[in-house]
Copies of this chain bind each other. A is one copy, B any other.
């Protein structure tokens, strides 16, 4: 079999989401074949990212600066605060390029099954930011799952005393979606939230 260093590389690669033991072996061979073009740059970039990237102490986003590039961007509207579960959700909204306010990353959702309670999420930080006085609207953008909705209700309860406006993303038919393939819950929500044309 391969030497101990290569075996260790395969084991580490196999722990990445989307790679199993077999594809990790293929990836390791690919890396060894492209040593100068891929393996060494990847090693250097991993170290650089590991050394420099940290969670932003204000919003929880991952960046090499603290506060992060979004929190310090003066062109963004600091009166709009979008609450997301994870950095992946923040990236999804940024990719869409539809939001020009600031973010707040909770770091998960309330989940009794997984033992995640309010103290495990960055909710106190959110309440402190809202009470800071500059935020006028909190947009809750947790996932439309049971855990996400539970968390949304909890956050609403916590933020409501500050008196700022609280909104959530609309539920409805996805753009490009066909009614025939949609679940009853989404169809019901879309009908309930119908808008005048």
Contact = CB atoms under 8 A, between A and B. Distances in A.
Interface string A9-28: 10011011111000101111
A50 to B, nearest CB: 5
B39 A46 contact: yes
A182 interface: no
Nearest to A28: B49
Interface string A54-77: 000000001111001100000000
A134 interface: no
Given A18-B18, A19-B18, A53-B6, A87 B29 contact: yes
Task: With a 10 A CB-CB cut-off, give which of A3, A47, A63 has the most chain B CB atoms.
Answer: A3
SS of A interface (majority): helix
B39 A50 contact: yes
A72 B107 CA distance: 52
A71 B3 CA distance: 13
A46 B34 CA distance: 12
A46 B18 contact: no
A131 B100 CA distance: 72
A49 B62 contact: no
Contacts of A87: 29, 32
A166 interface: no
Contacts of A12: 38, 41-42, 45
6 contacts: A2-B63, A6-B63, A12-B41, A16-B31, A29-B88, A43-B46
Per CB-CB distance, the 9 closest pairs between chain A and chain B, nearest first, are A43-B46, A18-B23, A43-B47, A16-B27, A12-B42, A3-B63, A39-B50, A1-B94, A5-B49
